[in-house]
Chains A and B, each alone.
Chain A
Amino acid sequence: MRLTLRVWRQKNDRSPGAMKEYPVDGVSPDMSFLEMLDTLNERLTLEGEEPIAFDHDCREGICGACSLVINGDAHGPERTTACQLHMRSFRDGDTVDVEPWRAAAFPVVRDLVVDRSAFDRIIQAGGYVSVPTGAAPEAHATPVPKAAADAAFEHAECIGCGACVAACPNGSAMLFTSAKVNHLNVLPQGAPERETRVLDMVAQMDAEGFGGCTLTGECATACPKGIPLTSITSMNKEWLRANRKVSRD
């Protein structure tokens, strides 16, 4: 296959960026999208041009490092991460645009690499259960109904890639935040910190400069792990409940 790539090139967070065009030949349909970029980078290196910087690591769709907007879609046309997207999803002769996540809270570091440390700070605000090592009771002391365990898992699957933010017209991080709130809040282990968790994490999310949620649903459509849109409505309920409870106390 032969493609024309148009890639966002930006030297660092202080320089302006622009789309640059690269013809790519000899693309195999079995290549992953990132392997296609690898071959382009090998060529650029030998031609004396700086290769395209992009974040990637596990290439199995689980580490969450990938962060490419492909033809306007976060992670591209399939519902998966860019590392699990294969070139068989494209046609010979296609022109493909590759850009970084675009969001005020995710500044560009270089080319397709962005700074997602805001996500870490949202987790630091309360996305945990306060249980120091050694303080745990016997695992079977608290049975967890299977339905609750399954619901927790469904939300815990979030890989923190940020596709939800990149897809959202408002640049909102509601889906990311709600996934962690719901994971922990449906479990008995998460109950003691249920209210502070949701209030603190939402406050941190707002402080990071993410946009507000207008429930367009783009986030859940882009999410490679299928975190459901109801995650957001559940978190809204948790937040209202926590506010009422805190103001009563």
Chain B
Amino acid sequence: MDHYTDYATGAPLADTKAPEGPIAERWDTRRFAAKLVNPANRRKHTVIVVGTGLAGGSAGATLAEQGYHVQQFCYQDSPRRAHSIAAQGGINAAKNYRNDGDSIHRLFYDTVKGGDFRSRESNVHRLAQISVEIIDQCVAQGVPFAREYGGLLDTRSFGGVQVSRTFYARGQTGQQLLLGAYQALSRQIAAGNVEMHPRTEMLDLVVVGGRARGIVARDLITGEITTHLADAVVLASGGYGNVFYLSTNAMNSNATAVWRAHRRGAWFANPCFTQIHPTCIPRTGDHQSKLTLMSESLRNDGRIWVPRTKGDTRAPGDIPEAERDYYLERIYPSFGNLVPRDIASRAAKNVCDEGRGVGPGGQGVYLDFADAIARMGRKAVEQKYGNLFEMYQRITAEDPYEVPMRIYPAVHYTMGGLWVDYDLQTTIPGLFAIGEANFSDHGANRLGASALMQGLADGYFVLPATINDYLARNPGHDTVDAAHPAVAGAVAETKERLHRLISVDGDRTADSFHREIGELMWEYCGMARTEEGLRKALDRIPQIREEFWRRIKVPGTEAEFNQSLERANRVVDYLELAELMCLDALHRAESCGGHFREESQTPDGEAARRDEEFSYAAAWEFTGTGDAPVLHKEDLVFEYVHPTQRSYA
């Protein structure tokens, strides 16, 4: 362990693609400076896109519309099932349709502040600018957003902001936006511009001459290992929240694509920045396989509380008003129940740690709609949240119209990811990362309804503009074929790894290791982190890894449909990524956003940033499994939003 934490600090990192000049003009400046590929030449270029969520689906469709040949991959049986589909609440856009003082600059400001001043100003401003175009695009595709009686789009407010800029489609906004992207992609598949490979999982990146030139993938039905070569590779493979085992991610969401790219030379930025979402359904037992989010839009009308006194076991209805503690309203009177996610999550943890939590194991707080039902009537509440209430009732067998919901925080989103420049290009030329797979826009904490915005901004608008520049500047790639040593080497390594997983023939399942690493991460690298705890985790992880390779049991063979093998291979990568997350959390001896170091807090228990030492993005360079990585710092410069202690009181 001493060896691993003994990391070196390498050369600082600069984003060479972000233009100078007034922030509102930078995106135009960059687009004009970017070289274009002649339309007639575009079809000669192949671009690989891994993933078909909001970022990947929209990117694949748009690149194909531009005339590129796209090879697209997803592990699901259909591109329509990517996990963006589960996003409930909404998508932010600075349309200011409400005339409530919103603007591009305010969305930019809110996002930089919400991210606790650990994101890049240029990127965030561009995101805010593009937000308005996204709504136009999705409406034109037929996305059935909620509308007012006058036929215009409805909006609502969301955690951490004071304007109403969140567009939504009941509690299924992600589904509707994803189907829009999927349909655009389907049109391009039918036109022959996108070659779609469902049930095909990327297992390695092919780098030739320092450039990303393809991927190694596994056909999940036949087990065949295939190679796919291209002029550029785009990773849109999502976040790595499943390292915690229990999270709101889909069961098969995984970190393999980004981690394998990291091992091939793409630096990984801010891996410890993970988001714990405050409103999830508490776990019920050891059989729990995943956690279910309840949209935070519920916080608009629900009131969060716990009993005033410890160990109060009365039914919620029997606890009189005076003996309830609406702790968010008490501690944060101006934002109340709408404080950002990191703050709401930590507050829930604190009251539960005090012994005031409710439900089995005391790991829950109430989210109460009694006042909302009294104020608006049951019908109006049903109209707004009906499907969420039904979902809650189905899972818990409790009726939230009668009994307050019980909620508890759960891992939901990862702000960290592959380091990318303003063009969304990683440190490997020709390898781009978009959506949750990159690190760029949310800093240390993502605001609600901003993930959908970023995924679609990257996929529809940013990447299709910037990838042109790369392809135009690198027009005459040498042809690479499967016999090239770099390709053959990546294939051989992949086959060897899968074969080794099967041949260990031990006595523990992949799930048992996944649970173990997940519990360790939740304990020591979850909502609150300490140097002592992180060191403990860093001691333990190599031991688990060693045990994994000694005791793993994977039934069946490589050459068939084998879900156990799929899982085990993902756990291999979690066992390495977890170590980097802990090291990143250990080295960042400050609190910021979702990263709360107990040693760095204000007297009233809020996150205390240490800007002088830590106002940078930490990009880690891989040097070998279990070997100390090299830290490269990208200094964050704030010209427009002056860093202040976040205050939501």
Residues of A that sit less than 8 Å from B by CB: 11-12, 28, 30-32, 34-36, 38-39, 42, 44-46, 48-51, 53, 55-65, 78, 80, 84, 86, 88, 109-110, 113, 115-117, 119-120, 123-125, 127-140, 142-146, 149-150, 152-153, 156-157, 159-160, 183-184, 187, 189-190
Contact = CB atoms under 8 A, between A and B. Distances in A.
A62 B175 contact: yes
A101 to B, nearest CB: 12
Interface residues of B, number: 79
B564 A133 contact: no
B151 A50 contact: no
Given A86-B394, A135-B140, A146-B148, A65 B186 contact: no
A123 B186 contact: yes
A133 B153 contact: no
B142 A60 contact: no
B81 A86 contact: no
B250 A58 contact: yes
A109 B221 contact: yes
Given A38-B511, A86-B394, A45 B289 contact: no
A162 to B, nearest CB: 10
Given A50-B555, A119-B78, A127-B186, A189 B142 contact: yes
B563 A137 contact: no
B287 A31 contact: yes
Given A58-B86, A139-B95, 12 more contacts: A28-B287, A31-B287, A50-B556, A110-B560, A115-B77, A120-B79, A123-B182, A124-B186, A127-B186, A129-B142, A133-B464, A146-B149
A156 B176 contact: yes
Contacts of B142: 128-129, 152, 183-184, 187, 189-190
B153 A139 contact: yes
Interface of B: 58, 61-62, 65, 76-81, 83, 85-86, 95, 97, 133, 135-137, 139-142, 144-153, 169-170, 172, 175-176, 179, 182-184, 186-187, 189-190, 196, 198, 221, 250-253, 284-285, 287-290, 292-293, 391, 394-395, 397, 460-461, 464, 507, 509, 511-512, 553, 555-556, 560-561, 563-564
A144 to B, nearest CB: 5
Contact of B187 (A78, A128, A146, A156): A128
B395 A39 contact: no
B557 to A, nearest CB: 10
A131 B133 CA distance: 13
B292 A60 contact: yes
A133 B58 contact: yes
B563 A149 contact: no
5 contacts: A120-B78, A123-B80, A133-B137, A140-B152, A153-B170
A63 B464 contact: no
B151 A156 contact: no
Contact of A65 (B76, B97, B284): B76
Contacts of A39: 287
A132 to B, nearest CB: 4
Nearest to B288: A35
B189 A137 contact: no
Residue from the set B83, B135, B176, B190 with the largest chain A CB neighbour count within 10 Å: B190
Nearest to B81: A63
Contact of B553 (A46, A86, A142, A153): A46
A58 B87 CA distance: 11
A64 B144 contact: no
A149 B145 contact: yes
Contacts of B145: 149
B490 to A, nearest CB: 27
A220 to B, nearest CB: 18
A144 B563 contact: no
A78 B395 CA distance: 12
B397 A88 contact: yes
Contact of B395 (A44, A55, A84, A117): A84
Contacts of A28: 284-285, 287
B289 A57 contact: no
A153 B463 CA distance: 30
B137 A137 contact: no
Contacts of B76: 57, 63, 65
Nearest to B79: A120
B40 to A, nearest CB: 18
Nearest to A139: B139
B290 A140 contact: no
A187 B198 CA distance: 30
Contacts of B79: 120
A157 B172 contact: yes
B481 to A, nearest CB: 29
A157 B390 CA distance: 15
B563 A53 contact: yes
A86 B78 contact: no
Contact of A124 (B65, B148, B189, B394): B189
A183 B179 CA distance: 11
Nearest to B553: A45
Contacts of B253: 57
A43 B436 CA distance: 35
A139 B146 CA distance: 13
A187 B221 contact: no
Contact of B137 (A34, A56, A78, A136): A136
B251 A59 contact: yes
Contacts of A142: 139
B140 A131 contact: yes
Given A48-B555, A117-B78, A129-B140, A53 B561 contact: yes
Contacts of A115: 77
Residue from the set A42, A56, A63 with the largest chain B CB neighbour count within 10 Å: A63
A50 B502 CA distance: 13
B170 to A, nearest CB: 7
Contacts of A134: 133, 137, 460-461
Contacts of A144: 147, 151
Contact of B511 (A42, A61, A116, A132): A42
A42 B643 CA distance: 50
8 shortest interchain CB distances as A-B pairs = A143-B151, A128-B183, A136-B140, A124-B190, A152-B144, A153-B144, A136-B136, A30-B284
B436 to A, nearest CB: 15
Contacts of B182: 123
Contacts of B175: 62, 157, 159
A57 B382 CA distance: 28
Contacts of B146: 149
A59 B186 CA distance: 25
